[in-house]
Structure 1
């Protein structure tokens, strides 16, 4: 698995997942349940991961949509 995005914004995270799904790329949200630890304040970013083989294509999809991340 490779991390292709990190965000504290749940709406953006949903959008990024939709972009990848439309391109046929499966994704997994890591740290999705950390809110139980942080009290729901949104301080800890969630990480969006894809399979290693899909990383380049996923980054291309995100870049094309103007959502490129470092």
Structure 2
């Protein structure tokens, strides 16, 4: 798995997952419960992971929909 997107905005993560699901790209969201463990309220970013073989296509989908990704 490779990191595609890192954000503390749950709406961006949900939108990205919906777009990728529409392209048959499986995702895995990491660090969902880290804010609860640290005692904060959504301050820590979540990571959206994709399989390495899907990374190129997933980045293209994000770019086409104006979602900023690093790397």
Q: Please list the CA deviations of residues 14-55 of structure 1 after superposition, one character each: whole Å capped at 9, or x if unmatched.
A: 011001101110000011111221224111100000000000
Verify: 1:27 aligned to 2:34, yes or no. no
Give the total of aligned pairs.
70
Unaligned runs of 5+ in 2: none
Does the 8 A contact of 1:59 with 1:68 survive in 2?
no
Q: TM-score, normalised by structure 2?
A: 0.91
Choose 50-59 or 34-43, whichever is displaced more.
34-43
Does the 8 A contact of 1:16 with 1:62 survive in 2?
yes
Alignment root-mean-square deviation, CA = 1.0
Unaligned runs of 5+ in 1: none
1:55 and 1:13 mapped to 2: Cα distance?
Answer: 16
